[in-house]
Amino acid sequence: MKTVCRVYDSYAQARATVEALERAGYRASDISLLANKHVSKEYADVQEVSDTAKGAGIGGALGGGAGLLAGLGLLAIPGLGPVVAAGWLAATAVGAAAGATAGGIVGALVDAGVDREHAEVYSEAVRRGGTMVTARVRDEDSGRVESIMDSQRPIDPLGRREDYRKTGWQTFDTAAPPYQPSQAEIDRMRANWPG
C-alpha cells in the first residue's frame, strides 16, 4: 500500500478530488479529508472540541455507501486544534485507530509513508487554512491516484515551504497558536462548502 497526500488551498478543490477518487472506484474508507475549521460557518467559532464532538463523523463514511464527504465532523488534532475531518488519517492522528503515534498529524503522515518535510508543510498548510486529501492505495494504482489528485492543482510542498520560511517558519509546531485567517482567506477556504 502507498499513501498519496495532497493539500489544496480551497475546500472546493479538495471536494472535487474526493469525488473524483470515489467515481474512479476508490473506497471512502481509504480516503481522508482534513480541513481547517474555518471552511465551515458551523464550526468557525469553535475554540475547543468537547469529548462528545471529538471524532464526530470520522467513522461515518467507513461502513456506509454515502461516501467520505457524508462523514465529515469536527475533531481536535494536536497542533491543528479543531478541524473538519473524515477518514482513517484523522482517526489515526487523534489516537482513535491502532498504530497512532505520539507525533500527531506529522507522525501519522510519516508513519503512512509521506516524506517528513512534505508532512511538515502539509500540516502547516492545513493549520493556515488548507484542506488535505489523503488516499491509501495499492502501489500499482499510485500513479493513477496522483494524476486524479494533481488535476485539482494542489499546493507544491517545496514552493510552499519556501514561502513559509520567508516569514520565519521552520517546522510544524504543535504548540503554535491557532491561525486567525482574514475574511478573504475564510471566503477562499469555504469555496464550495455544502450548506
In degrees, rounded to 5, the angle at the alpha carbon of residue 191 between the alpha carbons of residues 60 and 22 is 40
Closest CA to 186 of 44, 14, 84, 75: 44
What DSSP character marks residue 177?
P
CA atoms of 191 and 16, how far apart (whole Å)? 11
pLDDT tens digits for the chain (195 residues)?
999 999 999 888 999 999 999 999 999 999 999 988 887 777 666 666 544 344 444 443 333 445 777 778 887 777 787 888 888 887 777 653 334 445 678 888 998 999 999 999 999 999 888 999 999 999 999 999 999 999 999 999 999 999 999 999 999 988 887 677 777 777 777 766 664
Tell me if residue 103 falls in helix, strand or coil. Answer: coil
User: Where are the domains positioned within the chain?
Assistant: 2-170
Q: Do residues 60 and 70 make contact, with C-beta atoms less than 8 angstroms apart?
A: yes
What letter represents residue 25's amino acid? G
Backbone angles phi, psi at 85, to 5 degrees: -155, 160
Which CA distances in Å does 25 have to 17, 140, 141? 13, 14, 11
